[in-house]
Amino acid sequence: MFTAHHLKAIENKSTPFYFYEVDLFRATLASLNAAKGNYHVHYALKANANPVLLKEIVSAGLGADCVSGNEVKHALDNGFKANAIAFAGVGKSDTEILRALEAGIFAFNVESIPELEVIHELAKKTGKQAAIALRINPNVDAYTHKYITTGLEENKFGINPHEFDAVLSKIAQLHHLRLEGLHFHIGSQIQDLSVFKNLCTRINEINKWFLQKGTNIAYINAGGGLGVNYHEPDNYRIPDFKRFFDVFRTFLDLQPQQVVHFELGRCIIAQCGSLISKVLYVKEGVTTHFAILDAGMTELIRPALYQAYHKIENLSVNLPATSKYDVVGPVCESSDCFGKAVLLPPTKRGDLIAIRTAGAYGEAMSNHYNLRSAEAPVYFST
Protein backbone atom coordinates (compact mmCIF):
# COMPACT_ATOMS: atom_id res chain seq x y z
CA MET A 1 0.00 0.00 0.00
CA PHE A 2 1.32 3.43 -0.86
CA THR A 3 1.51 5.68 2.18
CA ALA A 4 1.15 9.47 1.97
CA HIS A 5 4.92 9.55 2.34
CA HIS A 6 5.37 7.31 -0.71
CA LEU A 7 2.82 9.23 -2.74
CA LYS A 8 4.71 12.41 -2.02
CA ALA A 9 7.90 10.82 -3.35
CA ILE A 10 6.06 9.78 -6.51
CA GLU A 11 4.15 12.94 -7.45
CA ASN A 12 5.28 15.36 -10.14
CA LYS A 13 7.81 13.02 -11.70
CA SER A 14 7.87 12.23 -15.37
CA THR A 15 6.67 8.71 -16.04
CA PRO A 16 7.29 5.83 -16.43
CA PHE A 17 9.70 5.05 -13.61
CA TYR A 18 10.55 2.35 -11.09
CA PHE A 19 9.91 3.13 -7.47
CA TYR A 20 11.62 1.20 -4.67
CA GLU A 21 10.50 1.26 -1.06
CA VAL A 22 13.84 1.25 0.71
CA ASP A 23 12.25 0.98 4.16
CA LEU A 24 10.49 -2.25 3.13
CA PHE A 25 13.66 -3.50 1.48
CA ARG A 26 15.65 -3.04 4.68
CA ALA A 27 12.95 -4.77 6.70
CA THR A 28 12.98 -7.67 4.21
CA LEU A 29 16.75 -8.06 4.51
CA ALA A 30 16.53 -7.92 8.32
CA SER A 31 13.86 -10.61 8.29
CA LEU A 32 15.92 -12.79 5.95
CA ASN A 33 18.96 -12.45 8.20
CA ALA A 34 16.93 -13.26 11.31
CA ALA A 35 15.59 -16.44 9.68
CA LYS A 36 18.66 -17.82 7.92
CA GLY A 37 20.60 -18.97 10.99
CA ASN A 38 23.92 -20.43 9.85
CA TYR A 39 22.88 -20.68 6.19
CA HIS A 40 24.75 -18.55 3.63
CA VAL A 41 22.66 -16.48 1.21
CA HIS A 42 23.95 -15.17 -2.12
CA TYR A 43 21.70 -12.57 -3.70
CA ALA A 44 20.92 -13.37 -7.36
CA LEU A 45 21.87 -10.16 -9.15
CA LYS A 46 19.83 -11.09 -12.20
CA ALA A 47 16.66 -10.17 -10.29
CA ASN A 48 17.75 -6.56 -9.90
CA ALA A 49 21.25 -5.14 -10.07
CA ASN A 50 20.46 -1.53 -9.19
CA PRO A 51 23.54 -0.18 -7.34
CA VAL A 52 21.51 1.56 -4.61
CA LEU A 53 19.85 -1.73 -3.75
CA LEU A 54 23.10 -3.69 -4.00
CA LYS A 55 24.63 -1.38 -1.41
CA GLU A 56 21.89 -2.39 1.05
CA ILE A 57 22.49 -6.06 0.25
CA VAL A 58 26.23 -5.76 0.84
CA SER A 59 25.56 -4.01 4.17
CA ALA A 60 23.24 -6.84 5.13
CA GLY A 61 26.17 -9.24 4.65
CA LEU A 62 24.85 -11.32 1.73
CA GLY A 63 27.05 -12.78 -0.99
CA ALA A 64 26.28 -12.61 -4.72
CA ASP A 65 25.08 -15.10 -7.31
CA CYS A 66 26.08 -14.07 -10.83
CA VAL A 67 25.32 -15.48 -14.27
CA SER A 68 27.59 -13.44 -16.52
CA GLY A 69 31.03 -11.92 -16.46
CA ASN A 70 29.42 -8.49 -16.35
CA GLU A 71 27.40 -9.48 -13.29
CA VAL A 72 30.59 -10.68 -11.60
CA LYS A 73 32.24 -7.36 -12.41
CA HIS A 74 29.18 -5.42 -11.27
CA ALA A 75 29.09 -7.34 -7.98
CA LEU A 76 32.78 -6.58 -7.36
CA ASP A 77 32.34 -2.92 -8.35
CA ASN A 78 29.47 -2.63 -5.89
CA GLY A 79 31.28 -3.98 -2.89
CA PHE A 80 30.70 -7.74 -2.84
CA LYS A 81 33.81 -9.65 -1.79
CA ALA A 82 35.17 -11.99 -4.47
CA ASN A 83 35.10 -14.91 -2.05
CA ALA A 84 31.33 -14.46 -1.66
CA ILE A 85 30.53 -14.62 -5.40
CA ALA A 86 29.14 -17.74 -7.06
CA PHE A 87 29.20 -17.79 -10.86
CA ALA A 88 26.55 -19.94 -12.57
CA GLY A 89 25.29 -20.27 -16.13
CA VAL A 90 25.33 -22.89 -18.90
CA GLY A 91 27.40 -20.82 -21.31
CA LYS A 92 30.35 -19.13 -19.62
CA SER A 93 32.78 -17.72 -22.20
CA ASP A 94 36.57 -18.06 -21.88
CA THR A 95 36.89 -14.34 -21.15
CA GLU A 96 34.28 -14.55 -18.41
CA ILE A 97 35.99 -17.57 -16.85
CA LEU A 98 39.42 -15.92 -16.96
CA ARG A 99 38.14 -12.76 -15.27
CA ALA A 100 36.43 -14.75 -12.54
CA LEU A 101 39.61 -16.82 -11.98
CA GLU A 102 41.60 -13.62 -11.77
CA ALA A 103 39.19 -12.21 -9.18
CA GLY A 104 39.31 -15.40 -7.09
CA ILE A 105 35.57 -16.02 -6.77
CA PHE A 106 33.96 -18.37 -4.25
CA ALA A 107 32.78 -20.91 -6.84
CA PHE A 108 32.05 -21.72 -10.44
CA ASN A 109 28.78 -23.61 -10.60
CA VAL A 110 29.70 -25.96 -13.42
CA GLU A 111 26.97 -27.25 -15.71
CA SER A 112 28.65 -29.83 -17.98
CA ILE A 113 31.74 -32.01 -18.55
CA PRO A 114 33.02 -29.82 -21.42
CA GLU A 115 32.80 -26.81 -19.09
CA LEU A 116 34.87 -28.66 -16.45
CA GLU A 117 37.57 -29.17 -19.08
CA VAL A 118 37.60 -25.56 -20.21
CA ILE A 119 37.72 -24.11 -16.68
CA HIS A 120 40.54 -26.53 -15.87
CA GLU A 121 42.51 -25.61 -18.97
CA LEU A 122 42.20 -21.89 -18.25
CA ALA A 123 43.04 -22.34 -14.56
CA LYS A 124 46.11 -24.37 -15.49
CA LYS A 125 47.24 -21.78 -18.02
CA THR A 126 47.02 -19.01 -15.44
CA GLY A 127 48.42 -21.03 -12.55
CA LYS A 128 45.17 -20.93 -10.53
CA GLN A 129 42.96 -23.38 -8.70
CA ALA A 130 39.26 -23.09 -9.51
CA ALA A 131 36.82 -23.84 -6.70
CA ILE A 132 33.80 -25.55 -8.24
CA ALA A 133 30.36 -26.80 -7.42
CA LEU A 134 28.61 -29.23 -9.74
CA ARG A 135 25.25 -27.96 -10.86
CA ILE A 136 23.09 -31.00 -10.74
CA ASN A 137 19.87 -31.59 -12.57
CA PRO A 138 17.84 -33.38 -9.89
CA ASN A 139 14.77 -33.93 -12.10
CA VAL A 140 12.44 -32.33 -9.53
CA ASP A 141 9.36 -30.59 -10.89
CA ALA A 142 9.02 -27.02 -9.59
CA TYR A 143 5.38 -26.78 -10.77
CA THR A 144 5.93 -23.25 -11.99
CA HIS A 145 5.75 -21.59 -15.42
CA LYS A 146 7.58 -23.71 -17.99
CA TYR A 147 9.94 -20.86 -18.92
CA ILE A 148 11.18 -20.65 -15.32
CA THR A 149 11.39 -24.38 -14.61
CA THR A 150 15.02 -25.48 -14.68
CA GLY A 151 15.41 -28.77 -12.82
CA LEU A 152 13.83 -31.27 -15.22
CA GLU A 153 15.72 -33.69 -17.46
CA GLU A 154 14.50 -31.85 -20.54
CA ASN A 155 15.94 -28.50 -19.35
CA LYS A 156 19.32 -27.30 -20.59
CA PHE A 157 20.71 -26.79 -17.08
CA GLY A 158 22.93 -28.98 -14.96
CA ILE A 159 24.59 -32.39 -15.00
CA ASN A 160 22.36 -35.47 -15.06
CA PRO A 161 22.87 -38.37 -12.60
CA HIS A 162 23.89 -40.84 -15.32
CA GLU A 163 26.99 -38.65 -15.87
CA PHE A 164 28.16 -38.63 -12.23
CA ASP A 165 30.72 -41.47 -12.59
CA ALA A 166 32.22 -39.85 -15.66
CA VAL A 167 32.34 -36.47 -13.90
CA LEU A 168 34.22 -37.90 -10.92
CA SER A 169 36.76 -39.70 -13.12
CA LYS A 170 37.26 -36.52 -15.09
CA ILE A 171 37.74 -34.36 -11.98
CA ALA A 172 40.30 -36.84 -10.63
CA GLN A 173 42.48 -35.94 -13.63
CA LEU A 174 41.94 -32.17 -13.50
CA HIS A 175 44.30 -30.97 -10.81
CA HIS A 176 43.48 -27.29 -11.13
CA LEU A 177 39.86 -27.90 -10.08
CA ARG A 178 38.79 -28.26 -6.46
CA LEU A 179 35.35 -29.84 -6.09
CA GLU A 180 33.70 -28.27 -3.06
CA GLY A 181 29.97 -28.17 -3.56
CA LEU A 182 26.84 -29.61 -5.10
CA HIS A 183 24.53 -27.01 -6.61
CA PHE A 184 20.82 -27.26 -7.34
CA HIS A 185 18.32 -24.76 -8.72
CA ILE A 186 15.02 -26.16 -9.90
CA GLY A 187 13.08 -23.07 -10.87
CA SER A 188 11.65 -19.76 -9.84
CA GLN A 189 8.43 -18.38 -8.31
CA ILE A 190 7.86 -21.56 -6.29
CA GLN A 191 5.12 -21.00 -3.73
CA ASP A 192 4.36 -24.57 -2.75
CA LEU A 193 7.00 -25.39 -0.15
CA SER A 194 6.50 -29.13 -0.63
CA VAL A 195 8.50 -28.69 -3.84
CA PHE A 196 11.51 -27.75 -1.70
CA LYS A 197 10.85 -30.78 0.48
CA ASN A 198 11.06 -32.93 -2.68
CA LEU A 199 14.28 -31.15 -3.57
CA CYS A 200 15.73 -32.00 -0.14
CA THR A 201 14.93 -35.68 -0.69
CA ARG A 202 16.81 -35.65 -4.00
CA ILE A 203 19.71 -33.68 -2.51
CA ASN A 204 20.01 -36.29 0.26
CA GLU A 205 20.16 -39.15 -2.25
CA ILE A 206 22.73 -37.39 -4.41
CA ASN A 207 24.82 -36.19 -1.45
CA LYS A 208 24.89 -39.77 -0.18
CA TRP A 209 25.99 -41.07 -3.58
CA PHE A 210 28.98 -38.70 -3.63
CA LEU A 211 29.85 -39.61 -0.04
CA GLN A 212 29.82 -43.30 -0.84
CA LYS A 213 32.27 -42.59 -3.65
CA GLY A 214 34.58 -41.07 -1.04
CA THR A 215 34.13 -37.52 -2.33
CA ASN A 216 34.35 -34.79 0.23
CA ILE A 217 31.55 -32.29 -0.37
CA ALA A 218 31.94 -29.18 1.80
CA TYR A 219 28.61 -27.53 0.97
CA ILE A 220 25.23 -27.85 -0.66
CA ASN A 221 23.97 -24.89 -2.67
CA ALA A 222 20.19 -25.23 -2.84
CA GLY A 223 19.72 -22.35 -5.33
CA GLY A 224 16.88 -19.86 -5.25
CA GLY A 225 13.28 -19.98 -6.33
CA LEU A 226 11.19 -18.91 -3.34
CA GLY A 227 8.10 -17.22 -4.78
CA VAL A 228 6.18 -14.14 -3.72
CA ASN A 229 2.50 -13.27 -3.62
CA TYR A 230 1.74 -11.17 -6.69
CA HIS A 231 -1.99 -11.09 -5.94
CA GLU A 232 -1.83 -9.59 -2.46
CA PRO A 233 1.35 -7.53 -2.20
CA ASP A 234 0.09 -5.58 0.80
CA ASN A 235 -0.80 -8.66 2.85
CA TYR A 236 2.45 -10.47 2.06
CA ARG A 237 4.98 -7.68 2.04
CA ILE A 238 7.81 -9.82 3.44
CA PRO A 239 8.08 -13.49 2.46
CA ASP A 240 7.97 -16.10 5.20
CA PHE A 241 11.69 -16.84 5.17
CA LYS A 242 11.51 -18.86 8.36
CA ARG A 243 9.05 -21.37 6.87
CA PHE A 244 11.26 -21.66 3.81
CA PHE A 245 14.52 -22.30 5.69
CA ASP A 246 12.73 -24.61 8.13
CA VAL A 247 11.97 -26.98 5.25
CA PHE A 248 15.70 -27.38 4.68
CA ARG A 249 16.46 -27.56 8.41
CA THR A 250 13.92 -30.34 8.75
CA PHE A 251 14.55 -32.40 5.63
CA LEU A 252 18.21 -32.03 4.63
CA ASP A 253 20.52 -34.77 5.92
CA LEU A 254 23.93 -33.18 6.15
CA GLN A 255 27.31 -34.46 7.19
CA PRO A 256 28.54 -32.68 10.35
CA GLN A 257 30.96 -30.43 8.44
CA GLN A 258 28.61 -29.58 5.56
CA VAL A 259 27.11 -26.09 5.23
CA VAL A 260 24.27 -24.83 3.06
CA HIS A 261 24.15 -21.95 0.62
CA PHE A 262 21.20 -20.37 -1.19
CA GLU A 263 20.87 -18.05 -4.19
CA LEU A 264 17.72 -16.05 -3.63
CA GLY A 265 16.66 -13.25 -5.93
CA ARG A 266 12.97 -12.56 -6.42
CA CYS A 267 11.81 -13.02 -2.83
CA ILE A 268 14.30 -10.42 -1.59
CA ILE A 269 13.37 -7.55 -3.88
CA ALA A 270 10.08 -8.22 -5.72
CA GLN A 271 7.63 -6.64 -3.27
CA CYS A 272 9.80 -3.56 -2.75
CA GLY A 273 9.45 -2.25 -6.30
CA SER A 274 6.62 -0.84 -8.40
CA LEU A 275 6.48 0.41 -11.93
CA ILE A 276 4.77 3.80 -11.94
CA SER A 277 3.10 4.90 -15.13
CA LYS A 278 0.53 7.38 -16.40
CA VAL A 279 -2.64 6.78 -18.40
CA LEU A 280 -2.14 8.28 -21.84
CA TYR A 281 -5.56 7.45 -23.25
CA VAL A 282 -8.74 5.69 -22.32
CA LYS A 283 -10.06 4.11 -25.48
CA GLU A 284 -13.41 2.44 -26.01
CA GLY A 285 -13.18 -0.93 -27.74
CA VAL A 286 -16.13 -3.00 -28.94
CA THR A 287 -16.44 -5.04 -25.78
CA THR A 288 -13.87 -3.48 -23.49
CA HIS A 289 -12.33 -0.23 -22.31
CA PHE A 290 -8.59 0.09 -22.81
CA ALA A 291 -6.40 2.04 -20.43
CA ILE A 292 -3.30 2.80 -22.49
CA LEU A 293 -0.25 3.49 -20.33
CA ASP A 294 3.06 5.18 -21.03
CA ALA A 295 4.87 2.08 -19.67
CA GLY A 296 4.93 -1.12 -21.64
CA MET A 297 6.57 -4.51 -22.03
CA THR A 298 9.82 -2.56 -22.44
CA GLU A 299 9.70 -1.63 -18.73
CA LEU A 300 8.08 -4.85 -17.43
CA ILE A 301 8.10 -7.83 -19.76
CA ARG A 302 6.81 -10.47 -17.31
CA PRO A 303 3.11 -10.32 -18.29
CA ALA A 304 3.98 -10.58 -22.01
CA LEU A 305 6.61 -13.29 -21.57
CA TYR A 306 5.15 -15.51 -18.84
CA GLN A 307 1.50 -14.36 -18.76
CA ALA A 308 2.45 -13.20 -15.26
CA TYR A 309 -0.07 -11.46 -13.03
CA HIS A 310 0.85 -8.12 -11.45
CA LYS A 311 -1.57 -6.14 -9.32
CA ILE A 312 -2.52 -2.85 -10.96
CA GLU A 313 -3.72 0.15 -8.95
CA ASN A 314 -4.91 3.63 -9.81
CA LEU A 315 -3.10 5.95 -7.39
CA SER A 316 -4.96 9.09 -8.45
CA VAL A 317 -8.53 8.07 -7.72
CA ASN A 318 -9.81 7.04 -4.33
CA LEU A 319 -13.11 5.46 -5.39
CA PRO A 320 -14.35 1.85 -5.47
CA ALA A 321 -13.06 -0.27 -8.35
CA THR A 322 -16.20 -0.57 -10.47
CA SER A 323 -14.99 -0.55 -14.07
CA LYS A 324 -13.03 -3.07 -16.09
CA TYR A 325 -10.11 -2.12 -18.31
CA ASP A 326 -7.61 -3.94 -20.44
CA VAL A 327 -4.48 -2.22 -19.21
CA VAL A 328 -2.02 -2.07 -22.09
CA GLY A 329 1.26 -0.44 -23.05
CA PRO A 330 2.24 1.59 -26.12
CA VAL A 331 4.47 -1.04 -27.78
CA CYS A 332 3.41 -2.39 -31.17
CA GLU A 333 2.70 -5.94 -29.99
CA SER A 334 -0.62 -7.37 -28.90
CA SER A 335 1.19 -9.10 -26.04
CA ASP A 336 2.04 -5.67 -24.60
CA CYS A 337 -0.76 -6.01 -22.08
CA PHE A 338 -0.37 -5.77 -18.29
CA GLY A 339 -3.77 -7.22 -17.50
CA LYS A 340 -7.13 -8.00 -19.04
CA ALA A 341 -10.46 -6.93 -17.52
CA VAL A 342 -8.68 -5.31 -14.58
CA LEU A 343 -11.09 -3.83 -12.03
CA LEU A 344 -10.22 -0.17 -11.42
CA PRO A 345 -12.09 2.93 -10.34
CA PRO A 346 -13.28 5.09 -13.26
CA THR A 347 -9.94 5.95 -14.86
CA LYS A 348 -8.96 8.89 -17.04
CA ARG A 349 -6.05 10.37 -18.94
CA GLY A 350 -3.31 11.53 -16.59
CA ASP A 351 -4.08 9.13 -13.73
CA LEU A 352 -1.03 7.57 -12.05
CA ILE A 353 -0.98 3.79 -12.20
CA ALA A 354 1.15 1.50 -10.04
CA ILE A 355 2.07 -1.95 -11.28
CA ARG A 356 3.05 -3.74 -8.13
CA THR A 357 5.62 -6.41 -7.23
CA ALA A 358 7.88 -5.23 -10.04
CA GLY A 359 11.12 -5.13 -8.04
CA ALA A 360 12.39 -8.45 -9.39
CA TYR A 361 12.90 -9.02 -13.11
CA GLY A 362 11.35 -5.63 -13.95
CA GLU A 363 14.11 -3.08 -14.34
CA ALA A 364 16.57 -5.96 -14.88
CA MET A 365 14.73 -7.20 -17.98
CA SER A 366 13.91 -3.79 -19.44
CA ASN A 367 14.80 -3.25 -23.07
CA HIS A 368 14.61 -0.67 -25.85
CA TYR A 369 12.24 -2.38 -28.29
CA ASN A 370 10.49 0.09 -30.60
CA LEU A 371 13.44 2.40 -29.85
CA ARG A 372 11.71 3.35 -26.65
CA SER A 373 13.74 5.65 -24.41
CA ALA A 374 16.75 4.26 -22.63
CA GLU A 375 16.36 3.17 -19.01
CA ALA A 376 13.32 4.48 -17.21
CA PRO A 377 14.42 6.53 -14.21
CA VAL A 378 14.44 5.12 -10.72
CA TYR A 379 13.32 6.73 -7.46
CA PHE A 380 13.64 5.50 -3.91
CA SER A 381 11.58 6.15 -0.83
CA THR A 382 13.75 7.30 2.03
- Report the interface residues with ligand LLP, using CB under 6 A: 44, 46-47, 65, 88, 148, 185, 188-189, 223-226, 263-267, 302, 306, 361
Consecutive H or E run containing 124:
helix 113-125
* Nearest in space to 362 (alpha carbons), one of 294, 290, 305: 305
Handedness of CA 230, 44, 263, 173 (dihedral sign): positive
Nearer to ligand LLP, 44 or 276 (CB): 44
* Helix, strand or coil, per DSSP, at residue 56: helix
Q: Cβ-count burial of 98 within 10 angstroms (0-12 exposed, 13-18 middle, 19+ buried)?
A: middle
Minimum CB distance to ligand LLP, residue 75 (Å)? 14
Minimum CB distance to ligand LLP, residue 170 (Å)? 22
Nearer to ligand LLP, 15 or 221 (CB): 221
d(CA 361, CA 167): 34
Minimum CB distance to ligand LLP, residue 358 (Å)? 10
d(CA 92, CA 226): 25
Nearer to ligand LLP, 347 or 357 (CB): 357
Nearer to ligand LLP, 76 or 270 (CB): 270
Rounded to the nearest 5°, which phi and psi values hold at 312?
-120, 130
Nearer to ligand LLP, 267 or 291 (CB): 267
Q: List, as own/partner pairs, every contact residues 1-6 make where C-beta atoms lie below 8 angstroms and the sequence separation is at least 24, other chains included.
A: 1/234, 2/313, 2/315, 2/354, 5/381, 6/381
Nearer to ligand LLP, 264 or 352 (CB): 264
Minimum CB distance to ligand LLP, residue 36 (Å)? 14
Minimum CB distance to ligand LLP, residue 89 (Å)? 8
d(CA 380, CA 339): 25
Minimum CB distance to ligand LLP, residue 91 (Å)? 13
Minimum CB distance to ligand LLP, residue 116 (Å)? 17
Nearer to ligand LLP, 67 or 344 (CB): 67
Nearer to ligand LLP, 64 or 344 (CB): 64
Q: List, as own/partner pairs, every contact residues 373-377 make where C-beta atoms lie below 8 angstroms and the sequence separation is at least 24, other chains included.
A: 376/16, 376/17, 376/18, 376/275, 376/295, 376/299, 377/13, 377/14, 377/17, 377/18
Angle subtended at Cα 277 by Cα 344 and Cα 351, rounded to the nearest 5 degrees: 50
Nearer to ligand LLP, 189 or 198 (CB): 189
352-355 and 312-314 strand pairing: antiparallel
d(CA 203, CA 138): 8
Q: What is the 3-state secondary structure (H, E, C) of 269-286?
A: HHHHEEEEEEEEEEEECC
Minimum CB distance to ligand LLP, residue 324 (Å)? 26
Minimum CB distance to ligand LLP, residue 183 (Å)? 8
d(CA 83, CA 181): 14
Q: Cβ-count burial of 285 within 10 angstroms (0-12 exposed, 13-18 middle, 19+ buried)?
A: exposed
